[in-house]
Amino acid sequence: MMKRNFLNIVVLGLVLWAFSGVAAAIQPAKPSVDASSWLLMDFETGQIIIEENADQQLPPASLTKMMTSYIIADQLHKGNISDDDKVLISENAWAQNPKLKGSSLMFVEVNKYVTVEDLHRGIVIQSGNDASIAMAEHIAGSEEAFADLMNQYAKRLGMNSTHFMNSTGLPHEQHNTTARDLAKLARALIVDFPEDYSLYAEREFVYNGITQQNRNELLGDTTLGVDGIKTGHTEAAGYCLVSSAEKQGMRLISVVMGTDSMGSRASESRKLLNYGFRFYTNVKAFAAGKPLKQAEVWKGEEELVGVGLAQDAVLTVLKSEKDQLKANYKLSGKLMAPIQKGQVVGEVYFQMGDKVVKRMPMVALNKVEEAGFFGRMWDSMALWFED
C-alpha cells in the first residue's frame, strides 16, 4: 500500500518539460497580402501558420484541376486505369468546342486517341480544360458524374466548404472552395501520391507539336525550392496560386486567391513562403513509442505500464519561441487492468506560455493482463482505503 502511494506521488506528480526558457519572444508582424483569401500551412504538421479569410467560399478556377489530378492519381494507383489507356476524345472534350474557346487547352482533337499519361500531363502542366473533360469522361462516363465523384473525394479529405460542378474550374455559380480546403487538398496530393506530385514541377510539355509552359511563375525559384502546385484564373476568381516549397527540410504550402495579376499572385505567394521559412521551424518534441512515464496499474499482473505517444509529436513554432515550448500530461483516471497496447489512457498537451497549442492522446505502450483473484482482491481493498 505504502509502495503504491509512493510510486503514485513520484510518477504522477512529474511535470514533463520538453523545453524551457524565460526570454520573451519577438513576434514578427504578419505580412500584408494583397489577395481576397490566403493562408500558409506547414506541410509536416498540417498546422496553419497565418491566414486571412481562409474559409471564404470563392471560385477556384483551374485550381479545380488539383482535384481532377488527385482522382486520376488515385485511380491509377488502384489499377482502375493505366497510363497506357487510350482515351477517345469526344466533342465535349474537343479543343474546338465553343465552350472552351479562349481557355487553357492541350489542343486534343475530336475522335483521336490520347493516352492517360499525356492527358494527365496536359492537365497538370498545361492546365488543359479539354484534357480535364476527356479524363472525366474516361473515369466516370460523363463530366457530371465525375463532378459527383469529386465531391465524394472532397468530403473524404475534409474539404467541408467545397462543391465542384465540373472538372475544369470553368465558371459556375455553385462551383466554390476555400483557401483552407485547397491547402488540405495540396497536402493530400503530396502525402498520398508523391510520384504523381512530381508532375507539378515539370516546366513544359509538348503535345501535337505545340510546346506550352507551366503557368506556375515560382517554379525554378532556387531560393525558395518551389516544386508545385497550380495556378488558376478567371474573371470571377481573379489570379490564384497554390504553391509548395521545400527548404532545409521544411515544406510549406501557401494559397492565395483573388489577386489582380499573374505577377501579384507570384509575389504574394513568395511573400508568404519567405515569411514562413524565415520565422518558423518544426520541433520534434517526442518520438512515437518512447515512454514518457510509468503509470500505475490496478488489478493487473504488472504494477506499472509505460505510456507515451502513438505518433511523433512535431509542432510548428516561431524560431524565437521554440525554447519556451513545454509539455505536460494528464491521465484519464486510475488505470485498471486489463490494458491493451495502444489503449488511450490520457492526454499530452503542449503549451506556449498559458496557451495550449497542441493536444495528443497518450497511449499504453504495452499490454497488461488482469491479475489473478487474490491480486484483484488486494487492489480492490487498497482502492477502497484510498477512496
Residues 6 or more apart whose Cβ sits within 8 Å of residue 72 = 81, 116, 120, 123, 135, 139, 196
Please give the Cα distance from 292 to 331 (Å, whole number). 12
Count of C-beta atoms within a 10 Å radius of residue 373: 8
Please give the Cα distance from 286 to 163 (Å, whole number). 38
Output the pLDDT for position 36: 97
Please give the Cα distance from 316 to 386 (Å, whole number). 42
Output the pLDDT for position 222: 83
Write the Ramachandran bin of 102: left for phi over 0, alpha for psi from -120 to 50, otherwise beta: left
Where, residue-wise, is CATH 3.40.710.10 in the chain? 37-280
Residues 220-230 have pLDDT tens digits of 788 999 999 99
4 band by pLDDT with thresholds 50, 70 and 90 = very low
* Strand-pair partners of 315: 283
Output the pLDDT for position 24: 54
Which SS3 state, helix, strand or coil, does residue 259 take?
A: strand
Q: With pLDDT > 70 as the criterion, what percentage of the chain qualifies?
A: 89
Where, residue-wise, is CATH 2.60.410.10 in the chain? 2-16+292-386
Output the pLDDT for position 17: 41
Output the pLDDT for position 374: 54
Q: Residue 312 burial (CB < 10 Å; 0-12/13-18/19+)? A: middle
Identity of residue 138: H
Write phi, then psi, for 163 (nearest 5 degrees): -145, 125
Out of 2.40.50.100, 2.60.410.10, 1.10.10.10, 3.40.50.920, which CATH number does the structure's domain 2-16+292-386 have?
A: 2.60.410.10
Q: Packing angle between helix 129-140 and helix 65-78, nearest 10 degrees?
A: 40
Give CA separation, 355 vs 67, 118, 283, 309, 319, in Å. 36, 50, 17, 21, 17
Which SS3 state, helix, strand or coil, does residue 151 take?
A: helix
- Of the two residues 293 and 151, the one the predictor is more confident about is 151
Q: Is the pLDDT of residue 160 over 70?
A: yes
Give the cell for residue 175.
Answer: 462551383
Q: Is the pLDDT of residue 12 over 50?
A: no
Q: What is the pTM of this model?
A: 0.88
Please give the Cα distance from 126 to 97 (Å, whole number). 17
Please give the Cα distance from 278 to 248 (Å, whole number). 11
Query: What average pLDDT does the chain have?
Result: 90
Please give the Cα distance from 35 to 268 (Å, whole number). 8
- Range 37-280 has CATH code 3.40.710.10: yes
Which SS3 state, helix, strand or coil, does residue 195 take?
A: helix
Output the pLDDT for position 385: 60
Q: Is the pLDDT of residue 13 over 50?
A: no
Catalytic positions, written as ranges: 62, 65, 127
